[in-house]
Amino acid sequence: MPGPRRCFATAKALQRLDAGLLSEVLRKFPAYLKERNLTLPTHPKQENLDYEAIRAACMGGDLPADLDDVLSYVSILGTTAGWERILEEARAQKKKLDFPTHGLTHADLAMKAWLWDWPRNKLLLEESYSRARIHARSSYVYFPPLRDLRGKYRAPTDERLAEMRKELEDYFVAEGLGKGSNIIRFEFEKEIWFLIRYPGRLKRQVTIDEDGESESLTFKPEEYDAVVYHKVYGDLRMNTLRVRERTKYRILFGHALLDSANVFAPDERVITLEPLKGKCLAIFKCEDIEGLAEVEPVELAYHSIREMGREIIWRADKKTTLLASNKLDPFLLPDDTDTVRYAIFRYRLKDRMKPETLTVHQGKTMTYERDGDSAVLEEWLRSRKFVKYMLDKRPGFRL
């Protein structure tokens, strides 16, 4: 349910698409064409397509979800960057899009990719868009395991994913949000990622079309949550728009991945900044972390034992770090430090010139400026004990 929906709201927008490819996409929904009394010419051209009738069909409230999806994703991915996303996703799935591209716009290419080797690529556009969306997630709440069930991990089958989609659809309908939810899976060596799409609350918006005419649109925007299970460490992390979904996801994904609904602790504080206390400067040496060139603190907020009611904030100048001005070597913080509330680190990956920032809060939350970097940063954070690892205290632990 990409939204705002109805991306081709004018006939002029539809006319920018290749007539033959647009007709081929529409013909995948014969029941809807029949219902709308929409007849397509045998040899479609821009001159003989009834774009107003197609527009009316596309704006209909009973538009099939799959048709709504493909037209919306064609609009969203109909750019140079969008086509690169599609190619990248195809490579990741080892799918070949070896069709002629001459004379096709980027929107045409997106339609062609969806149609190519039909029906194997029906989900390719959504998966291309979803991979970019899940890497745009930037703040995560962590849920540690209550017991070690890593040996029971199984990636959900297509059948199990279908059951999960149905369960979430029923859940969001009961929440008053309606139908249109989906789960997209991305599996990596150490982690498995899920992007959950669902309809948001109804919105009304006045838009201006290409002819300067105002039109009032009523729609449900798409919303996205992300859930990540770490196969090595056994914990679950989430980025959710609403707090109430966290309980549902803990139970749903615990059952789906580990065959146990009650496996992730709901309230455990797993993020700690205790490693910044004491002789800690060695933790900023990162030669052992693959892909990480440098990481240094630029801002800290802490409380002193001597002044418990007062928070002290150290902030480096824009182009420096707290290490550059540190006079407490081999310490970073005074020895009377009680608790550290948050820390901001500036880091740079080896394949990048521009530095980014990472914010860590005592408790359960970490915020990445670029979530695509999280795999590298997770290794540093976990190896330096910023993430409490619940399982290494138990007999028989193996990493």
Rounded to an integer, the average pLDDT of 254-264 is 91
284-312 per-position pLDDT tens digit: 999 999 999 999 999 999 999 988 788 99
pTM: 0.66
87-113 per-position pLDDT tens digit: 988 988 889 999 999 999 999 999 999
Tokens representing 269? 């504080």
Task: Name the more confident of 183 and 204.
Answer: 183
Q: What is the pLDDT of residue 201?
A: 66
Residues near 163 by beta carbon (within 8 Å), at least 6 away in sequence: none
Which residue type does 219 have? F
d(CA 302, CA 310): 9
Q: Is the pLDDT of residue 224 over 90?
A: no
Q: Is the pLDDT of residue 2 over 60?
A: no
66-91 per-position pLDDT tens digit: 888 888 888 888 888 889 889 988 98
Q: What is the pLDDT of residue 34?
A: 92
d(CA 96, CA 117): 9
Residue 132: which H helix or E strand, with range? helix 124-134
Q: What is the pLDDT of residue 178?
A: 85
b/e burial code for range 345-357 (CB count within 10 A of at least 16 → b): bbbbbeeeeebbe
pLDDT band at 398 (very low <50, low <70, confident <90, very high): very low
pLDDT band at 362 (very low <50, low <70, confident <90, very high): confident
d(CA 391, CA 75): 46
Q: What is the pLDDT of residue 4?
A: 39
What percentage of the chain reaches a pLDDT higher than 70?
Answer: 85
Q: What is the pLDDT of residue 220?
A: 60
Task: Name the more confident of 388 and 150.
Answer: 150
Q: What is the pLDDT of residue 32?
A: 92
